[in-house]
Amino acid sequence: MKKINIAIVGLGFGAEFIPIYQRHPHANMYAICQRNETNLHKIGDAFNIEKRYSDYDELLKDPNIDAVHINSPIPNHAEQTLKALKAGKHVACTVPMATSVEECMEIVKLSKATGKKYMMMETVVYSREFLFVKELYEKGELGKVQFLKASHQQDMDGWPDYWPGLPPMHYATHCVGPVAGLLKLEAEYVSCFGSGTIREELAKIHNSPFAVESAHIKFKDSDLSAYVYRSLFDLARQYRESFEVYGTKKSFEWPLIEGEDAVIHTAKKEEHEIPERIKIPDFAHLLPEDIQRFTTQGVYDVAENTHLSFTQGAGHGGSHPHLAHEFLMALVEDRDPFPNAWESANWTSVGILAHESAMQGGKILALPDFKNAAE
């Protein structure tokens, strides 16, 4: 059985994936990388990992590493991805892909030139909610999809130093991913408006004043558009990472409050019978048996070992083992992962250009043709 030697870079949120790779039948959890050597050895000892690097460039020189899974701070994603591709490594990277459209294009082109796979590890498109709606769609139960909507609202006060004042749409893949990913649509252009203001000390960091940014996305070669909105600071709202799909037969709506049940609306029933609350099933059965447990538990599900992205994100919908499995199987089967390089670039650039649009009063901005650049 083919085994892929995996190196995890960044051991905050990244530690969540160590036990998954250790138990996956096609993975060898080969190495870890962290600049803080105390934490590096603490994690290495806890998970019995021999190969440890405090220098990313040294890690990339190791010829035994097949693929890197990057979980470093956002400003490092593009640089570390490009270095890894140039070093002949496959790349999985936490969101977003990059912080500029130009970097996104560079990654797409380099992935093609090197023949190495790239996957952005977008949690929402492997959450149990997304997998549930995807199953409804594929069975024809939604009918013709007519509209898609998503939101990601979160209070980021108290997060690490690269978060304060971040433009809301610069971290938009959690809401762009599901509306584009369900029907495998390609965003063609975007228009976005800003609303409200954040406090001055935050706004001046990125010269981004808006409390909320809301965007419309038009999809290429499709009659569909989608609406997404984001907030990060100075807004009273429980964490909500939602997506909604409206079809001719059935529609799916995310609950307003975390912990409540989602709603299915079914057409042509008596008015009071149209909505129905439903329990979302788990989709661990899609995974190898040895990693099925990780849809409901992981490193960060105990009180003394919490990570904000996990606790605020409701465990990311059980997505982590699905993400690792998809990346590994793409390498084993020599196929593109989902999302691949051009899809990841498209989703990330929607947010980047949406913010630019908001700063220009809602101007329509076209996305580059990442797909053709990848072919």
Question: Model confidence over 141-180: pLDDT tens digits?
Answer: 999 999 999 999 999 998 878 899 999 999 999 999 999 9
Q: What is the mean pLDDT of residues 315-332?
A: 93
pLDDT band at 315 (very low <50, low <70, confident <90, very high): low
- Is residue 231 within 8 A of residue 237, CB to CB? The reply is yes
Residue 224 CB neighbour total at 10 angstroms: 17
User: CA of 99: how far to CAs of 56, 204, 325, 345, in Å?
Assistant: 20, 18, 26, 10
Decide the pairing of beta strands 225-231 and 212-219: antiparallel
* Model confidence at 268: pLDDT above 50: yes
The span from the CA of 155 to the CA of 164, in Å, is 10
User: CA of 158: how far to CAs of 34, 232, 308, in Å?
Assistant: 22, 11, 10
The span from the CA of 110 to the CA of 11, in Å, is 26
- Amino acid found at 351: G
Which residues pair with residue 252 across a beta bridge? 245, 264
* Model confidence at 312: pLDDT above 50: no
Q: What is the mean pLDDT of residues 320-346?
A: 97
Q: Is 10 left (phi over 0), alpha (psi -120 to 50) or beta?
A: left
Query: Under 8 Å CB-to-CB from 297, ≥6 apart: which residues?
Result: none
Give the length of the chain.
375
pLDDT band at 297 (very low <50, low <70, confident <90, very high): confident
pLDDT band at 298 (very low <50, low <70, confident <90, very high): low
pLDDT band at 209 (very low <50, low <70, confident <90, very high): very high
The span from the CA of 27 to the CA of 251, in Å, is 38
pLDDT in tens, 107-141: 999 999 999 999 999 999 999 999 999 999 999 99
Query: Under 8 Å CB-to-CB from 122, ≥6 apart: which residues?
Result: 95, 173, 174, 177, 181, 323, 339, 344, 347
The span from the CA of 338 to the CA of 325, in Å, is 11
Give percent above pLDDT 70 in the chain: 95
